[in-house]
Structure 1
């Protein structure tokens, strides 16, 4: 199974710039060892089970909680598909096979 998780998470109570806190969230994601893609607006992570994806969400929240964030905003989307793997890159390759290289 392939679980694509697209998420963004940041505190709303620590000023205008969010990069210091977002960097800590991305560090958690990186250290989990799953394939991921950082974008300017969200991060996309691929796991094999929904429980693994939910565990990442919890760990990300926990790191913000440990940084005294009293209010956290998050968007979370899932695309869950049985019988598939490597969709993080495979979906992009599918489009590139049809139209050529896309902006990366």
Structure 2
């Protein structure tokens, strides 16, 4: 297990999740999960890496819970441009939906 500052931790999370995205893909359903706080699959991925101790995992997951865009951005950091655009479009639709539902 490695100790790292938050900058290198972020880079490591991006690298780990980038590999996960490359393997399994990313779509509108994944964006809905991230947006709604259903982060289990990504928590499991970084936990399984063995790169982070419990305190670091807790900090990472707390940051995702406080602002799901942190996880979204990590997932999209190494995605191709088409995937980034598709996922950001799906995210934007999620941002609009609660407003439309209130009318």
For the aligned pair, the TM-score class normalised by the smaller chain equals 0.3 to 0.5
Name the structure where helix makes up a greater proportion of residues. 2
Name the TM-score, length of structure 2 as normaliser: 0.38
What is the TM-score of this pair, normalised by structure 1?
0.37
Q: More strand by proportion, 1 or 2?
A: 1
Q: Which has the greater radius of gyration?
A: 1
